[in-house]
Amino acid sequence: MLGNRKIAILISGRGSNMLALMDAIESGRLNAEIAVIISNRSDAKGVELAKARGYTTVVIPSRGLSKQEHEKILIAELKWHNPALICLAGYMRLLSPEFVQTFPQQILNIHPSLLPAFPGLEVQEKALEYGAKYSGCTVHFVDEGCDSGAIIAQAVVPIHDEDTIQSLADRILVEEHKLYAKAIQFILDRKWHIAGRRVLGIKI
């Protein structure tokens, strides 16, 4: 698979990280090719946006299917496109161990906190409630757990006294849009290795 720079992007919602990756590729900041955008929701805003930009966009609805049935279709679709990386961008479903093991070290996620702090959902609210002074975003490999895979890159943002959930989310999102493309570039360049949980060689 050497030289394969194709990525698949999995979404469930508005798709702003997906758009940021498209912008990075189209402007030459990210040397990659989008093989396919896949959504588990037909009503995701991101689906409309991806189609409008002319990208191959596939909806594989999860509703009404078991996780196993849904993932079987998803895996077949992904294998057909043969991406080097599967980039989760607001994909709201946990992947099964079988799925993760089908694509070892090929699945990336972006999460709007400084992991391991605040995994899961409603993370800006949790960071504010906890009284953290900094938050940020994390790009990590996806493993069998929830937001628990090896960390690839992080960006830090301050939390201000007057912050609301929305203002903090907005400040983090700006960093997400920059960080994901840079992290993907490094992973595709294959100048990294893993020692235990440490992904080494990434310079962002």
Whole-angstrom Cα distance, residue 168 to residue 125?
A: 9
Q: Does 112 bind ligand GRF (CB under 6 A)?
A: yes
The owner of tokens 């020692």 is: 195
What is the phi/psi pair of residue 79, to 5°?
Answer: -65, -35
Query: Binding to ligand GRF by residue 89, rule CB under 6 A?
Result: yes
Strand partners, 138: 111, 154
What are the structure tokens assigned to 75, written together? 């895996």
- The closest alpha carbon to 86, from 138, 45, 142, belongs to 142
Residue nearer to ligand GRF on the CB measure, 106 or 109: 109
Instruction: State how far the Cα of 44 lies from the Cα of 120, in Å rounded to an integer.
Output: 20
Minimum CB distance to ligand GRF, residue 20 (Å):
8
Task: Give the one residue of 7, 10, 15, 139 binding ligand GRF; rule: CB under 6 A.
Answer: 15
Yes or no: say if 103 and 84 are a contact pair by the CB < 8 Å rule.
no
Alpha helices (runs of H) in 132-164, residue ranges in sequence order: none
Q: Which of 8, 9, 17, 25 binds ligand GRF (CB under 6 A)?
A: 17
* Count, residues in the chain: 204
Distance of closest approach, residue 198 Cβ to ligand GRF, in angstroms:
22
Please report how close the Cβ of residue 19 comes to ligand GRF at its closest, in angstroms: 8
Active site residue 160: no
Q: Choosing from 70, 81, 111, 177, which is the catalytic residue?
A: 111
**Token pair of 106, please?**
């090929």
90 lies in the binding site for ligand GRF (CB under 6 A): yes
Q: Could you tell me the two tokens for 18?
A: 């997906």
Which of 41, 70, 111, 140 binds ligand GRF (CB under 6 A)? It is 111
Residue 13 CA to residue 73 CA, distance in Å, equals: 20
Residue 136 is a binding residue for ligand GRF (CB under 6 A): no
Interface segment toward ligand GRF; rule CB under 6 A; list 35-43, 59-67, 79-87, 105-113: 105-113
**Position closest to ligand GRF via CB:** 90
The residue ranges that bind ligand GRF (CB under 6 A) are 11, 13-17, 46, 89-90, 110-112, 173, 176
Catalytic residues: 111
